[in-house]
Amino acid sequence: MTDPIRAEIERHLDEPDPPTTGPIGATGATPRTSRAALPRTRYDWTRAELEELLTDQPRYRVDQVWQGLHDHGTDPSEWSNVPKAVRETVAGALPSGLTPVTESVSDDGETVKWLWALADGREVETVLMHYPDRSTVCVSSQAGCAMACTFCATGQAGFDRQLTTGEILEQVVRARRRSAEVGKRLSNVVFMGMGEPFANYDRTWEAVRRIHDDLGIGARHLTLSTVGVVPGIRRLATADLPVNLAVSLHLANDRERDELVPINRRYPLAVLASACADYIEATHRRLSFEWALIDGVNDSERHAAELAAYAHPLRAHVNLIPLNPTPGYAVRGTSPQGVRDFAERLTDLGINATVRRTRGTDIDAACGQLRATHHGREPAAPSATPIAPPTRRR
Ligand code: SF4
């Protein structure tokens, strides 16, 4: 029997990517399933292309423009050291890819969340989190997501389109500038926003490379997250930058994970574990599992035992994150005491586990929530058959 959720996921995993060339706005208000050309915006341009655009300018001028864009994250209109004609050329040829729709700051000022409009009207989110010792930005890799995880506002709203390398890179540039404005240094980038990075592998990897090369953020400060797209894990195992890998696991038995994380129907846990083991053997890097603790869904003693049995052979570190409330999903995050109990169980079972703070609950900082809230609606059901929340099991 055909599984409609799996079929929808596979369609987005397998379809060839559309081209990234084409004038800005050429895509217009395209239907959700359109494969029209993606917009080409400011940070899609490479250094060589910029030199070609400014071929009549001396090298130091190109350096000034490049530094303005990448080192300072400033707009051409702010470059008082650059002639007006050059500023106008750059502004005209390299339009910004992100227009702020809303910006929310948490009550304590430590979390900033943007909802951006893309050149074709699609929307994505970026979250900046300040810590005492660092600032981390969580970027989106797709507008929407086809993975249909049932606890996720983005998954509930469906897939719009791939992001370009420039659109991913610009999220980091914007966050870095904001960090600098409050005296903080953006040191970490995690690909845990909207979308599944490995379903947009080539553009995501090019963005990783440019964050590393052009923005100077070290590979060990970059983390790619996947919900279990095994071909992406296998490709990452052969990549030439030692970035971190986080697998969003959430359940460690196929019966329940098939419902909560439908990609599991295509890459079941045994297949995922095999890819993770090969990745560790090839890279000698530590793997981490993300586990969003959901009240009554994946926070029992049995779930802790299943997770420990799965994580132990891979020597994976476990990050526990109480689920942010998601409109349209009828369950809540595990209570603070439940989180502590779950972490203790894992520790007793020999697993290294860290409880992560839930950031920005007051500003809808969970993936896809800001977009849903901004439009004053519950997130739409997935484009394929909706999945009911898993049965509460204790
Ligand atoms: S949790 Fe991640 S992979 Fe799953 S639907 Fe949401 S954005 Fe997509």
Each residue's pLDDT tens digit in the chain (394 positions)?
456 666 666 666 655 555 544 332 222 333 343 456 888 999 999 999 999 999 999 999 999 999 999 999 999 999 999 999 999 999 999 999 999 999 999 988 899 999 999 999 999 999 999 999 899 999 999 999 999 999 888 888 899 999 999 999 999 999 999 999 999 999 999 999 999 999 999 999 999 999 999 999 999 999 999 999 999 999 999 999 999 999 999 999 999 999 999 999 999 999 999 999 999 999 999 999 999 999 999 999 999 999 999 999 999 999 999 887 766 667 789 999 999 999 999 999 999 999 987 665 555 555 555 565 555 543 333 332 222 333 333 2
Rg (CA), the chain: 21
Describe the crossing of helices 59-70 and 84-93 by its angle, rounded to 10 degrees: 60
Identify which of 211, 197, 310, 210 has the alpha carbon closest to the alpha carbon of residue 253.
310
Ligand 1 centroid distance, CA of 30 (Å):
23
pLDDT at 8: 64
CATH class of 43-93: mainly alpha
C-alpha dihedral, 147 to 152 to 155 to 157, nearest 10°: 170
Q: Exactly one of 8, 110, 123, 125 is catalytic; name it.
A: 125
- Looking up tokens 């009554």 gives 296
Question: Could you tell me the two tokens for 30?
Answer: 């395209």
Tell me the pairing of strands 123-130 and 111-117: antiparallel
pLDDT of residue 324: 75
Question: Is any ligand 1 atom within 6 A of the Cβ of residue 147?
Answer: yes
Query: What per-residue confidence (pLDDT) applies to 29?
Result: 31
Pick the atom of ligand 1 nearest to 261's CA. Answer: 4
- The secondary structure of residue 333, as a DSSP letter, is B
Give backbone dihedrals phi and psi of 78, rounded to 5 degrees, phi first.
-95, -5
Q: What is the pLDDT of residue 194?
A: 95
Answer yes or no: is the C-beta of 172 below 6 A from any ligand 1 atom: no
pLDDT of residue 352: 97
Instruction: Kindly give, in sequence order, each residue whose CB lies less than 8 Å from that of residue 326, ignoring residues fewer than 6 positions away.
Output: 151, 152, 153, 156, 366, 368, 369, 379
Write out the residue limits of the CATH 3.20.20.70 domain(s) in the chain.
Answer: 97-374
Taking the CA atoms of 136, 206, 273 and 315 in sequence, report the sign of the dihedral they define.
negative
Rounded to two decimals, what is the model's pTM? 0.87
Predicted confidence at residue 10, as pLDDT, reads 64
Of all protein residues, the one whose alpha carbon is nearest to atom 5 of ligand 1 is 155
Q: Respond yes or no: is residue 125 known to be catalytic.
A: yes
- Cα–Cα distance measured from residue 321 to residue 291, given in angstroms and rounded to the nearest whole number: 6
Q: Is 232 in the pocket of ligand 1 (CB under 6 A)?
A: no
Determine the Cα–Cα distance for residues 288 and 315; give it in Å rounded to an integer.
9
**According to the model, what pLDDT value does residue 309 have?**
98
Separation of CA 57 and ligand 1 centre (Å): 45
What pLDDT score was predicted for residue 156? 85
**Nearest-angstrom CA–CA distance, 46 and 65:** 12
Q: What pLDDT does 33 receive? A: 39
CA of 87 to the centre of ligand 1 (A): 39
pLDDT reported for residue 127: 94
Residues 97-374, CATH architecture: Alpha-Beta Barrel (3.20)
How far is Cα 66 from Cα 74, in angstroms, rounded to an integer?
A: 10
Q: Which atom of ligand 1 is nearest to the CA of 151?
A: 1
Residue range(s) of every CATH 1.10.150.530 domain in the chain: 43-93
Q: Is the CB of 194 under 6 A from ligand 1?
A: yes
Closest ligand 1 atom, residue 145 Cα:
8
